[in-house]
A and B are shown apart, each in its own frame.
Chain A
Amino acid sequence: MSGVWVRGFGWRHAGRKRWAVRGVDLRVERGERVLLLGPSGAGKSTLLAALAGLLPEDSGEQEGTVEVDGVDPRKDRERVGIVFQDPQTQLVMARSGDDVAFGLENRGVPADEIWPRVDAALRRVGFPYHRDRPTAALSGGEQQRLALAGALALRPGLLLLDEPTANLDPAGADLVRAAIAGALDEDTTLVLVEHRVAEALPLVDRVVVLEPGGGVRADGPPETVFAAHGDALAAEGVWVPGRPVPSRRARTPAGAPLLTADRLGLPPRLAATELRVRAGEALAVRGPNGAGKSTLALLLGGLLRPGTGRVTAGADLAGRDARTPPHRWRAPALARRIGSVFQDPEHQFVTATVRDELALGPRRTGRPEEAVRATVDGLLERLRLTRLAGANPYTLSGGEARRLSVATALATAPRLLICDEPTFGQDRRTWLELLDLFADLRDAGHGVVTVTHDPDFVAALADRTVVLSRADATGPAPADRTVGGDDAPG
Chain B
Amino acid sequence: MLQVEPVAVPGAPLARRNPVAKLAAALVFSVLLIATLDPVAPAIAIAVELALLPLFGVRYRVLARRAAPLLVGAVGILVTLVLFAADRSGTTLVAAGPVLVTSGVLVTALGLVLRMFAVALPGVIVFATTDPTDLADALIQNARAPARFAIGALAAFRLVPLLAEEWQMISMARRARGVDAGRNPVARLRLFASTAFALLVGAIRRGTRLAVAMDARGFDAGTPRTVARRQRFTVADGLLVAGAAALAGAALAVSVALGTFRPLIG
Contacts and interface: CB of A to CB of B under 8 A. Distances in A.
Interface of A: 52, 54, 77-78, 80-82, 84, 86, 88-95, 98, 101-111, 114-115, 118, 136, 150-151, 154, 298, 301-304, 330-332, 334-336, 338-340, 342, 344, 346-350, 360-361, 364-365, 394, 408-409, 412
29 contacts: A77-B218, A78-B218, A81-B216, A88-B159, A89-B209, A91-B158, A92-B158, A95-B133, A101-B229, A102-B214, A105-B226, A106-B217, A106-B223, A107-B218, A107-B223, A108-B224, A111-B226, A136-B161, A301-B176, A303-B175, A331-B177, A332-B178, A334-B175, A335-B176, A342-B169, A350-B174, A360-B177, A361-B178, A409-B176
Nearest to A80: B216
B198 A109 contact: no
Interface of B: 131-133, 151, 154-155, 158-159, 161-162, 166, 169-170, 172-180, 182, 194, 198, 201-202, 205-206, 209-210, 212-221, 223-230
Contacts of A88: 159, 162, 206
A208 B158 CA distance: 38
A303 B215 CA distance: 39
Contact of A92 (B170, B194, B210, B224): B210
A103 B225 CA distance: 10
Pairs of residues from A and B, 10 with the lowest C-beta to C-beta distance, nearest first? A335-B178, A331-B180, A364-B178, A103-B217, A106-B218, A90-B213, A101-B228, A340-B176, A89-B209, A303-B172
A52 B214 CA distance: 12
B226 A108 contact: yes
Given A90-B209, A94-B154, 11 more contacts: A54-B216, A90-B213, A92-B214, A98-B133, A101-B229, A104-B226, A107-B223, A331-B174, A338-B176, A348-B173, A412-B178
A154 B174 contact: no
B151 A335 contact: no
A340 B179 CA distance: 13
B225 A154 contact: no
B226 A102 contact: no
B180 A347 contact: no
Contacts of A364: 177-179
A365 B176 contact: no
Nearest to B169: A347
Contacts of A348: 173, 176-177
B213 to A, nearest CB: 4
B19 to A, nearest CB: 14
A209 to B, nearest CB: 25
A339 B178 CA distance: 10
A153 to B, nearest CB: 9
A77 B228 contact: no
Contacts of B228: 98, 101, 104-105, 111, 114-115, 118
B176 A360 contact: no
B263 to A, nearest CB: 43
Contact of A350 (B132, B159, B177, B227): B177
Which of A92, A102, A114 has the most C-beta atoms of chain B within 10 angstroms of its own C-beta? A92
Contacts of A336: 178
A109 B227 CA distance: 9
Contacts of B166: 347
Contact of A360 (B178, B182, B201, B221): B178
B57 to A, nearest CB: 19
Contacts of A344: 169
B191 to A, nearest CB: 10
B169 A84 contact: no
A335 B179 CA distance: 9
Contact of A105 (B131, B172, B209, B225): B225
A105 B226 CA distance: 5
A342 B177 CA distance: 11
B210 A89 contact: yes
A89 B166 CA distance: 14
Given A106-B223, A114-B228, A334 B178 contact: yes
Contacts of B201: 394
Contacts of A349: 198
Nearest to B213: A90
A405 B217 CA distance: 34
A233 to B, nearest CB: 28
Contacts of A108: 223-226
Contact of B172 (A118, A304, A330): A304
A78 to B, nearest CB: 7
Contacts of B212: 54, 84
B177 A77 contact: no
Given A106-B225, A109-B226, A93 B133 contact: yes
Contacts of A340: 172-173, 176
Contacts of B158: 91-94, 136
Nearest to B4: A94
A103 to B, nearest CB: 4
Contacts of B229: 98, 101
A77 B221 contact: yes
